Amino acid sequence: AVYGATVTVFLDDESDGYADTRAFLARRIAGIMQFEKAKAKLLGRTELRPSLSRFIGRLRYPAV
């Protein structure tokens, strides 16, 4: 998606040295990195997340 959008901006870019395209690509990469950081933060907290399989197992065999 980023590649296709960047090519579209590149084809319409009339700035010196394709500055608009470079700025567009930098913004897209920054957005992706921000998303990946948030995703890693969320997935890194596995010990705080409830386990569905453990919950179902306890319904069948209660902890003593």
Instruction: Pick 45 or 23 by higher pLDDT.
Output: 23
Model confidence over 30-43: pLDDT tens digits? Answer: 999 999 999 888 87
Instruction: Give the per-residue pLDDT at 13.
Output: 94
In sequence order, what DSSP letters do the residues of the chain get, joined into one string?
Answer: -HHHHHHHHHHH--SGGGHHHHHHHHHHHHHHHHHHHHHHHHHT-TTTSPPHHHHHHHHHS---
The backbone region for 16, taken as left when phi is positive above 0, alpha when psi lies in -120 to 50, beta otherwise, is beta
Q: Residue range 49-62: average pLDDT?
A: 78
63, pLDDT greater than 70: no
What confidence score (pLDDT) does residue 43 get?
78
Helix axes 2-12, 19-43, angle to 10 degrees: 160
Q: Taking the domains of the chain in order of start, what are their residue ranges?
A: 2-60
Rg (CA), the chain: 23
- In which band, very low, low, confident or very high, does the pLDDT at 62 lie, cut at 50, 70 and 90? low
